[in-house]
Amino acid sequence: MAGVDKCILCGKCRADSALLRVTGKEMLTARGKALLIMKGILDKVFYIDPLNDVTVRSCPTNVEISEEVRKQRERLVENGIETKANRRMIDNIREFGNPYGSLEKKDIKEVYS
C-alpha cells in the first residue's frame, strides 16, 4: 500500500466513490482528498469519509487513502478542529460507552458512522 505521494491524479477512484455519486463533489473522492493532503490543507472535509478501502481496488498505484484520512483526522483533533456531531459522539462514548448516549431513554435521534 502507498501514501498520497504516489497518487497520479488519474481519477480511477471516482468509479468506487459513493460520496461522489451522492454529491457530485470532487473533493470527496480519494483523488480530491489526496490533493488536499499533498497541499497540506487541513479541513473538516476529512470527517466526511467512510474510511473503507473500496477505492484502493481501483487505484493503479495502491494509495491507501483511508489510512491517510485517518491521520488527517488525528491532526484535526490535535488542532481542535471538530464537528459538533463528532464531539458529541466522543462525549457519549466516554460517558455511556457508546456513540448514541443514554440508551435507556430509547430516543436515539442521531446515528453516527
Partner 1 sequence: MSITWFENLVGKENVSDEIVDREVYSTDASQIKGKCDKVVWATEVKHLHQIVLYAKRNKLDLIPRGAGTNLVGSCVPDNSVVIDFSKMNKIIALTSNYVVVEPGVILDDLNSVLRDKFFPIQPEDSSTCTIGGMIGINSSGFYEKKYGRMKDWVLEVEMIDGNGRLKTYDSKVVGKEGILGLITNIKLKITDKIDERSMNVFKYDKLNDVLSKVNELKSNQEVIAIEFINLDAAKLAGLEERYYLIVEYHGFEGGVRDLNEMGRLWHIRKKIFHKLASNSYVYLEDPLIPQENLAEFLYYLETKNIPCYGPIGINVLYPCFSNREEIKELYDTILRLRGVIGSRQGIGLLKKNYLNEVMKEELRNLKEQMDPMHIMNKGKVI
Which residues of this chain interact with partner 1, rule CB under 8 A?
Answer: 8-12, 14-15, 20, 24-27, 31-32, 35-36, 39, 41, 43, 45, 58, 60-62
Of 41 and 51, the one with the shorter C-beta distance to partner 1 is: 41
Whether residue 52 contacts residue 18, with contact meaning beta carbons closer than 8 Å, is answered with no
Query: Whose grid coordinates read 458529541?
Result: 88
Of 27 and 93, the one with the shorter C-beta distance to partner 1 is: 27
Smallest distance from partner 1 to CB 92, Å = 28
65-78 vs 30-39: helix axis angle to the nearest 10?
50
Phi, psi of 77 (to 5 degrees): -65, -45
Of 16 and 92, the one with the shorter C-beta distance to partner 1 is: 16
Smallest distance from partner 1 to CB 89, Å = 23
Set of cell numbers at residue 85: 456531531
